[in-house]
Structure 1
């Protein structure tokens, strides 16, 4: 059986497990854990606090720190309200492409890594290879946050991380962070004819949004010199503002969904500090003069660290040697890479498939992309052979 055939077979099994973020991924994690354990890998299954989700950490090679981590997320996005031409959880091959939910984002990379595991297991390795497969990347990188907390003090923490998000096997060395928030305003309902007797939650939400938009303008002037991102500065987007019921009732509740995509952590801290000060200084005192129970509460939906381009990046340099690529790129979408960079690991993003196919109906990955990924992994085995 060729490596590509083994990858296809395993990918078909993984696609058949509908690991949508809202559901459990335990069956997929168990399947991968058993495959790797049978090869002699040191396996850790790290369940989350609910017991319905888990990360998988498995090591082949010497029991020592350093080495390379191959990382991917096990969850996929939903298929509801998408017009698929075939069952999204039954892999279909057609015209050199494999169709199914998760084929490119990112079970194709996971299948290639595990299909190559026998090669790593049969090779005397100078450095260990670690497989890290996480839960809930699509809803805030929850699994990777837990994993990075564990890896931070792990006795055999890898030195380099290759995150196999779909990049068409291009080397990606940076992306912005992604911070998502929901801010809820609790005011006091009343009759629309006496607005001074109520606390209009929608009005205060509008003032809050106005301040965010002022901060958005400030961010343009904070762009790091030479920033290669597009745009080069951090951004803020207002995704949703809701509140109220009818024309003549003062709305007592409102919500704002908003996001920030920082190019540097200092921008995130700047915006959060400024908006919290605005709430404490201006909004809450005015609201509570009328109604002491009024409040403004922000829920963190997810804060995904950006991957900062670094002059010294051993993971980038390794993948360049393995693929023969001469250049690197930045991307607009977020990944788990920044979380690993934050704990001192060198990180790069490179994987099979195109992000243009991710999250869409009839998601697919090209067989040629899987072959290129397998070639990279073969080169990795040769590079770290004793």
Structure 2
């Protein structure tokens, strides 16, 4: 078996599926399912509630706990308004690079993992190897969260997960989470000449933002000792405050769009509890003293847990052995890794290609990076028997 040639062929096929997050990924998932089933894998496809998206979970080897998961997301970002030198959904090769939307983020890893499946299938596997391919990572990791729930319900308990996001084959053992919210304020409109007869939604939104700024400062003192992140603490960013219609009208509606990037889940819990108490005991009573129907509601846009570095991490130690690396890093960008960690697995992020190429026109992965990835996955064979 020529793993590189097979990977190139499969990657070209995967690039041909324009699996942008706004569209269905079913054709790509079915194609991968057929490839894995052909080599004897037990394949399951779990659809979302719309029936237009699906996760794939396939297993080679014995049905028992403690398996190793090779995971990637099937969706890609749009190419709208990007100036590509070639068709983004038709893979091309030039100067030792494979070009196409998703080549590095992250169909390259998926292709390499599936290309290795026939080799794994020939082994007397003592440890299961799982393939987990998800939907909608790019817009909130919705597929991975659904997959995690399904694995819990079915009692499937792998021990290790390798998330093949583009890291230039560096081992990543930690990244911050990304929690995004829109907080809506409902007040009572009125004439600007009588501000006490209305509930100014913008003013309450400003008080809410002031609380966010206070918490933003508090979080600096909660940075874990020896944190390797930059900055080392959990951050909060207020992205927008929108409200009002005219200078002489008491605004009845306002919204605040904000996010936090927690280095540890306890920070996220702290921020949410502080905001809940502030709204429940300070802001809302004052609003409803004037207008009983006034209120504050926070819409969760997405809550993606970070990957917390762990002192004991089988995945890190395993991939260090497979790649010959002598250390692991942390990165600022987010992945699905924290969701797998939340299932009790040890997790690392390690895959071919550079994040610098992701989401850009003329996205590519180098052949050298793909060879390094295949070397890692080939050496994994010895850990499965």
Shift, 1:87, TM fit: 2.3
Shift, 1:322, TM fit: 0.6
Residue of structure 2 equivalent to 1:146:
146
Residue of structure 2 equivalent to 1:334:
334
Over residues 201-247 of structure 1, what are the superposed CA-to-partner deviations in whole Å (9 max), with x where a residue is unaligned? 22211111110010000000011111111111111011122122332
Distance change >3 Å, CA 250–CA 86, structure 1 → 2: farther
Distance change >3 Å, CA 346–CA 136, structure 1 → 2: same
Shift, 1:306, TM fit: 1.3
Q: Partners of 1:281 and 1:86 in 2: how far apart? A: 58
Q: Does the 8 Å contact 1:68/1:129 carry over to 2?
A: yes
Are 1:269 and 2:275 counterparts? no
Over residues 154-198 of structure 1, what are the superposed CA-to-partner deviations in whole Å (9 max), with x where a residue is unaligned? 454221100001100000011111111111111122222332222
Q: Partners of 2:155 and 2:65 in 1: how far apart? A: 6
Shift, 1:26, TM fit: 1.0
Unaligned segments of structure 2, at least 5 residues: none
Q: Does the 8 Å contact 2:129/2:384 carry over to 1?
A: no
Structure 1 stretches (4+) deviating beyond 4 angstroms? none
Residue of structure 2 equivalent to 1:175:
175
Over residues 239-270 of structure 1, what are the superposed CA-to-partner deviations in whole Å (9 max), with x where a residue is unaligned? 12212233222222111111111111111111
Residue of structure 2 equivalent to 1:247:
247
Please give the secondary structure, in 2, of the residue aligned with 1:290.
Answer: coil
Q: Partners of 2:58 and 2:211 in 1: how far apart? A: 47
TM-score of the aligned structures, taking structure 2 as reference length: 0.97
Residue of structure 1 equivalent to 2:303:
303
Shift, 1:153, TM fit: 5.0
Q: Partners of 1:8 and 1:291 in 2: how far apart? A: 64
Aligned length: 385
Are 1:211 and 2:183 counterparts? no
Q: Does the 8 Å contact 1:100/1:364 carry over to 2?
A: yes
Deviates more, 1:186-195 or 1:356-365: 186-195
Q: Partners of 1:326 and 1:217 in 2: how far apart? A: 36
Q: Partners of 2:90 and 2:295 in 1: how far apart? A: 48
Over residues 125-174 of structure 1, what are the superposed CA-to-partner deviations in whole Å (9 max), with x where a residue is unaligned? 12111000011111221111111122235454221100001100000011
Unaligned segments of structure 1, at least 5 residues: none
Alignment root-mean-square deviation, CA? 1.4
